[in-house]
Structure 1
Amino acid sequence: MATEAHGAEEGSSLVFHPMDQFIVKPLFGGTEVHWYTITNVTLWMALTIVAVLALMVLGTSGKKQVPSRGQSMAEMAYGFVYKMVEDVSGKDGLRYFPYIFTLFMFIVFANVLGLLPMSFTTTSHFAVTVVLALAVFLGVTILGFVLHGTHFLGLFWVSSAPGPLRPVLAVIEIISYFVRPVSHSIRLAGNVMAGHAVIKVFAGFAAIAAVSPVSILAIVGMYGLEVLVAFIQAYVFTILTCVYLKDALHPAH
């Protein structure tokens, strides 16, 4: 019996739940979460906003000819997104640069802060990424109709295709257009969630002496990869936003 108990105890050390890190929990006790409940998601979204403001406001408050580290980071991020919007959406898209830049900075900081120990990655939740994607989708759709009226529907009509194929292609274009917010949101949340889950799995195996060195090396490697993914996913989300904006500004095929 003692041997079985010891075996069960050893077996329990292998039990870990990599998805537990994504559970939304109230900060001030209780288990129920309502729309007004302050949760770990609320906290880390607020910290993300504070971090963005700290970099962009405090980092650039005392501009110097020889920029500080914070000023250099802020200017580099600004120039990077500005060039992206200009290259993808054209000069007309620059009037929407403030929103796109805010979107990029929020996602980057949310992803990076989520890599801190004991933190919560807000962009791993579809509730967050779906709202971001729907805001882009509805925004560019409304903008397209405001600027072009019914001519915006030309986005779905491939005039260069043979006549009989145009209705079929129009249906495909409409379906792909309405799938945009789904793929836009799932891509970000899915990649962030998967990376964090893999790190948690390796961390669970690190408790086993026989495989601990390998697990630690795997954690370090995955952590470095996730730092890269944090920036790549923000870039992908932002550049897709620019592509959708371009379709709204210039809808003709």
Structure 2
Amino acid sequence: MATEAATGGLNEYITHHLTHHVISVGSGFNLDSWLVSLLLGLVFVIWFGLKARKATAGVPSKGQAFVEIIVEFVDGQVKDTFHGDRRSVTPLALTIFMWIVFMNAMDLLPLDLPGWLVHTTAGAETAHHTYWRLVPTADLNTTLGISVSVFFILLGHAISAKGGFGFGKELLTAPFHAHGPAAIALAPVNLFMNIVEWLVKPVSLAMRLFGNMYGGELVFMLIAGMLASSVTLVPGIIANAAWAIFHILIVLLQAFIFMILTVVYIAGAREGH
């Protein structure tokens, strides 16, 4: 990290590490974000799936106990927030929480790990022209993809609870309930406000997660500039360690917030105005 920042300059170093590995699939496609998030999702599914299949009713192993603690924690949060049938909501919340934790935690790996691997196997010149970002949630495409998926899940819950006619009626009559000619006059206003309310939910979910993880990634890159100088090497090491420890809280907190807001939005979608 220090060598690259010193030889290429901090601006070039940051620009390099903010560049995605893009392939052309009709338009630009960030292969690094997609592949890392896919692999981390598979890790979660395989890990929890194996623990579920090997679960015993007796004294659990340490691995099983750890997984049970996570599941019980998530289910407890869902139970406190959503007062309906949790059989589909808790698995969704668990998946969102663990998947985002895994993706956020990639920020704790060394920034130059991909470059070092390429340098070791293919040489320095290849490594210099190789771009690979490790943190999928620092890519707005990833966070928008997750939040848009949540958006359609919310629509499904709203239609399931109220029916297509009931949901459509609510869009036209809430929040300003009126009768007679006033109801007709206020219908466009109600529809506009409801559309804005629904669209704000995925946008806020995506931007909150992206902003925090992108900012955290930038801080690690700026600290790399301190590690590039012998004068600031020791302060840089201290700053890097302190930020990494603090960033663990951000990694967990952002996943928790995304999960809780998803459950809150589902509860709100199933309730009437």
| TMscore range, shorter length | 0.7 to 0.9
- In the alignment, what sits opposite 2:33? 41
Instruction: Give the partner amino acid of 2:24.
Output: V
Residues 24, 92 of structure 1: CA spacing in aligned structure 2 closer, same or farther, 3 A cutoff?
same
Residue type at the aligned position of 2:207? I
* Matches for 1:90-101 after TM superposition, within 5 Å: 90-101=83-94
Distance 2:55 2:220 in 1: 40
Residue matched to 2:98: 105
Query: Contact 1:93–1:246 (CA<8 Å) still a contact in 2?
Result: no
Secondary structure, in 3 states, of the residue corresponding to 1:92?
A: coil
Amino acid at match of 2:241: V
Amino acid at match of 2:166: H
The answer to whether the 8 Å contact 1:41/1:122 transfers is yes
The Cα of 1:128 is off from its aligned counterpart by 1.1
Q: Which residue of 2 aligns with 1:25?
A: 21
Q: Which amino acid in the other structure matches residue 159 of structure 2?
A: F
Cα deviation for residue 11 of structure 1 reads: 8.5
How far did 1:130 drift?
Answer: 0.6
Per-residue deviation, residues 50-76 of structure 1 (Å, max 9, x unmatched) = 321342123444335333332122111
Aligned equivalent of 2:161, options 125, 147, 152: 147
- Alignment match, 2:49: 57
Structure 1 residue aligned with 2:108? 115
2:255 paired residue number: 234
Conserved 8 A contact 1:22-1:125: no
Aligned residue for 1:23, secondary structure, equals: coil
Query: Does residue 1:124 correspond to 2:138, yes or no?
Result: yes
Structure 1 stretches of 5 or more lacking a match? 1-9, 27-31
- Give the TM-score normalised by structure 2: 0.74
Shift in CA distance, 48/179, structure 1 to aligned 2, threshold 3 Å: same
Q: Give the distance between the partners of 2:52 and 2:155, measured in 1 at CA.
A: 34
Look up the match of 2:221: 200
**Is the 1:125–1:189 contact (alpha carbons within 8 Å) kept by the matching residues of 2?**
yes
Q: Which residue identity lines up with residue 151 of structure 1 in the other structure? A: G
Residue 176 of structure 1 corresponds to 197
Match of 1:137 among 142, 151, 159: 151
Q: Contact (CA 8 Å) 2:34, 2:142: kept in 1 or not?
A: no
2:89–2:263 contact (8 Å) kept in structure 1: no
In structure 2, runs of 5+ residues without a counterpart are: 1-5, 115-133
Q: Which amino acid aligns with 1:84?
A: Q
Separation (CA, whole Å) in 1 of partners of 2:199 and 2:236? 42
* Percent identical residues: 26
Question: 1:3 — aligned with what?
Answer: none
Which contiguous aligned blocks of 4+ residues in structure 1 show a shift greater than 6 angstroms? Answer: 35-38, 166-169
Q: Mean alpha-carbon deviation: is it higher for 64-73 or for 96-105?
A: 64-73
TM-score by length of 1: 0.79
Task: Tell me which moved more, 147-156 or 219-228.
Answer: 147-156
Relative contact order: is structure 1 or structure 2 higher (C-alpha 8 Å, sep ≥ 6)?
2
Q: Match of 1:7?
A: none
Letter in 1 for 2:25: H
Paired positions, count: 236
**RMSD, matched Cα:** 3.1
